[in-house]
């Protein structure tokens, strides 16, 4: 890749950090070498070690995020930093720099580039119990519910366009942020590509902040919540079908006995099934109503993208006019 092309664009490397004193200096130096014109931002998330000092000594721009959690850090990053291309990585030295991500953003106009670990070395390098199966479950769920084909949902190695960064409203507080990003792109039909990246496990002595069970539960909750928000008719349609299925399962014996004897022997079951059918129909119509609202939200989002592009073109025109004068 022609690194001279880097000079034509403003590149920001984003590194959210919490207690990564052992690896952060190497990460900063590696990314400065790969992206020589980029601004390297390290956002320290209340570290109690020498993460800040080591990052500054390595040449990074260090800022503080007091709200604990990776999602909170990325929210602050996206609000504060202006760039044409955003490269995001973790501070634990598990992802090498991938200059091709920059090319995908600026040349191919991709909105998000995903560094795919699972197709390369992740399953060989990662030794943490249940992480591999957890990644497979999350990948299957998102691909099934949102009709996409993404190989690695929870990777921390990504690149973003300015259009994505300035229109993505971060809701997550913790490690479920990667899942939210992927679903946002899929739901809004934005351009997304995956590039295989070589994953290496944390060096000895470096400790992961990810809790397999609690953070895994949060990720699953995020998937369900976003599925309800982005695909309400599917969500409430499935709920309606399940309620009708259960109600039918219990009411058939009651109606069968009534047909034979002319007497309803289980009035409580009949009443509960009747209310269950009612809730099922309400759920179906709720899905229909929310589906229309969701379509309106997507139309508003498309208009927001147009406004952002117009604003960018106006700013560039003003800048060129100033340079001409």
288-303, pLDDT tens digit by residue?
A: 999 999 888 888 888 8
pLDDT at 143: 92
For residue 11, name the pLDDT band (cuts at 50, 70, 90): very high
Q: Which CATH class is domain 3-230?
A: alpha beta
For residue 325, name the pLDDT band (cuts at 50, 70, 90): low
pLDDT at 123: 63
Name which residue leads in pLDDT, 305 or 151: 151
pLDDT at 126: 60
Range with the poorest average pLDDT among 11-20, 118-127, 177-186, 220-229: 118-127
Structural domain boundaries of the chain? 3-230, 232-324
% residues pLDDT > 70 (the chain): 91
What is the residue whose two structure tokens read 């950090």?
17
Mean pLDDT across the chain: 88
Summarize the confidence of residues 10-36 as an average pLDDT.
95
Name which residue leads in pLDDT, 130 or 89: 89
Neighbour tally for 200: CB within 10 Å:
17
- Nearest to 188, CA basis, from 75, 105, 301, 292: 301
pLDDT at 122: 67
pLDDT at 210: 73
% residues pLDDT > 90 (the chain): 64
Q: Which parts of 3-161 fold into alpha helices (H)?
A: 24-34, 51-57, 70-80, 100-106, 122-125, 131-146
Task: Label residue 110 exposed, middle or buried (CB < 10 Å: 0-12, 13-18, 19+).
Answer: buried
pLDDT at 5: 74
């Amino acid at each position: 890749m022609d690194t001279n092309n880097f000079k034509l664009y403003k590149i920001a490397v984003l590194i959210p950090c919490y207690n990564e004193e052992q690896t952060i200096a190497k990460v900063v130096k590696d990314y400065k070498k790969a992206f020589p014109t980029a601004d390297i931002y390290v956002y320290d998330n209340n570290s109690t070690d020498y993460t800040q000092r080591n990052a500054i000594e390595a040449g990074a721009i260090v800022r503080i995020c007091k709200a604990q959690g990776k999602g909170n850090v990325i929210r602050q990053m996206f609000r504060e930093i202006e760039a044409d291309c955003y490269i995001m990585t973790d501070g634990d030295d598990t992802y090498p720099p991938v200059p091709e991500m920059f090319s995908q953003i600026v040349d191919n106009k991709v909105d998000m580039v995903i560094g795919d670990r699972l197709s390369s070395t992740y399953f060989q390098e990662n030794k943490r119990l249940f992480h591999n199966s957890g990644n497979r479950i999350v990948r299957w769920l998102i691909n099934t519910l949102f009709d996409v084909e993404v190989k690695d949902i929870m990777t921390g190695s990504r690149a973003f366009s300015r259009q994505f960064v300035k229109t993505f409203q971060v809701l997550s507080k913790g490690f479920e942020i990667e899942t939210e990003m992927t679903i946002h792109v899929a739901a809004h039909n934005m351009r997304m590509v995956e590039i295989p990246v070589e994953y290496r496990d944390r060096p000895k002595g470096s400790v992961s902040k990810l809790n397999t069970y609690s953070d895994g539960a949060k990720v699953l909750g995020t998937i369900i919540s976003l599925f309800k928000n982005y695909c309400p008719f599917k969500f409430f349609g499935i709920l309606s079908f399940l309620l009708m299925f259960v109600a039918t399962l219990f009411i058939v014996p009651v109606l069968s006995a009534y047909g034979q004897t002319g007497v309803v022997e289980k009035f409580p079951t009949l009443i509960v099934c009747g209310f269950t059918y009612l809730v099922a129909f309400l759920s179906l119509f709720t899905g229909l109503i929310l589906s229309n609202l969701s379509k309106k939200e997507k139309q508003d989002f498309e208009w927001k993208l147009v406004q952002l592009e117009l604003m960018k073109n106006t700013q560039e025109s003003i800048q060129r006019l100033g340079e001409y004068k």
